[in-house]
Structure 1
Amino acid sequence: MPLSDDQVAELAAARDRLRASALRAKADRPVSPARGIHHTALLSGDVRRTVEFYQGILGFPLTEMFENRDYRGSTHFFFDVGNGNAVAFFDLPGLDLGPYAEVLGGLHHLAISMETGQWLAARARLDAAGVDYLEESGTSVYFKDPDGARIELIADPLGEMYGEVVV
């Protein structure tokens, strides 16, 4: 159900209050104690299909594959998404997980930055593979991977979104 104009205004006011109390100017922010995202782990219903999609269509090299330490028989595998970052997957054979669903606390989408030329090439490979996508603002394409997870390829540099510095 869409929000009313009053509800949208209330949410905007709450966001403005939070921004005023919690967001610090870049010069006043502490340095993050983190080094970066080591990996984000998603679920795969079919290892070969996932490899063909992420390596074959998106162009992200498969870098490692081994048995998942938490679930016997399961494969844990990784793709290089640049800058020392990885997207990882688990398959969970024998478990009937059902179809992908967006839920509170779950994944909304994974955004991966690409240099513009690489982004254009990936978009062309999506076209060639018949993958439906939504292009936004001339720099983002949103699509679903073979298991339904929403992925965004964004041509904006790391730390920027649509001309705004976000880091």
Structure 2
Amino acid sequence: MSVTAEERARLTSERDQIRDKYLAPREQRPASAARGIHHTALISGDVQRSVEFYQNILGFPLTEMFENRDLAGSTHFFFDVGHGNALAFFDLPGVDVGDYAEVFGGLHHLAISVTPENWRAARERLDAAGVPYQLESETSIYLRDPDGARVELISDQLGEMYGHPVG
């Protein structure tokens, strides 16, 4: 799917109008009502495989595991992704989730900030494990986790993307 030059110009104009209306200069923005992302929850097709991937390959320690309160027998488990943030998973035994389909409001990808040193180490572990990925510049690696979720490891500072503030 691609857009025509005319459609792109219209979309650019629309984006500019939204930015002009809602994006206040950094020094004029009110403080956020949020404290941060407590956790983002994804679905795991295999608990052990997810733990091995996220802890052993990506380097995010498993921090907690218990039965999911919403589905008997289901496991809810968490990984430390830094700054008090967690990446959580549920497995859904007995539930047919069907094939993946990109939907509006669905997860496009999860971008996790890592130091340049941890970025290089994760890349080496991905290579050693034979996990395919897409290298985007020297700051981003895009990959799919064992269940197909798109993950980006980005070595830019938190609050920045490609040298520009985003937070």
TM range (shorter): over 0.9
Deviation at 1:101, TM superposition (A): 2.7
Which residue of structure 1 lines up, in the alignment, with residue 50 of structure 2?
50
Aligned-pair CA distance for 1:33: 1.1
Question: 4+ residue runs of structure 1 moved beyond 6 angstroms?
Answer: none
The gaps in structure 1 that reach 5 residues or longer are none
Counterpart of 2:66 in structure 1 is: 66
- Rounded to whole Å, the distance in 2 between the matches of 1:46 and 1:99 is 16
Residues paired across the two proteins, number: 167
- In structure 1, what is the equivalent of residue 127 of structure 2? 127
Q: Which residue of 2 aligns with 1:165?
A: 165
Partner of 2:75: 75
- Tell me how far 1:96 sits from its aligned partner: 1.2
Post-superposition Cα deviations, 1:58-111, rounded to whole Å, max 9, x if no partner, equal: 010000000001111100000000110000000000011123332111100000
1:61-140 equivalences under 5 Å are 61-140=61-140
2:16 is aligned to 16
Q: What's the TM-score, normalizing by structure 1?
A: 0.98
What are structure 2's unaligned runs of at least 5 residues?
none
SS at match of 1:60: coil
SS at match of 2:70: coil
Query: Aligned with 2:16: secondary structure?
Result: helix
**Residue of structure 1 in register with 2:31 after alignment:** 31
Note if contact 1:99-1:147 (Cα within 8 Å) is conserved in structure 2. Answer: no
1:137 Cα deviation (Å)?
1.8
Q: 3-state DSSP class of the match of 2:126?
A: helix
Aligned-pair identity (%):
67
The alpha-carbon deviation at position 2 of structure 1 amounts to 1.0
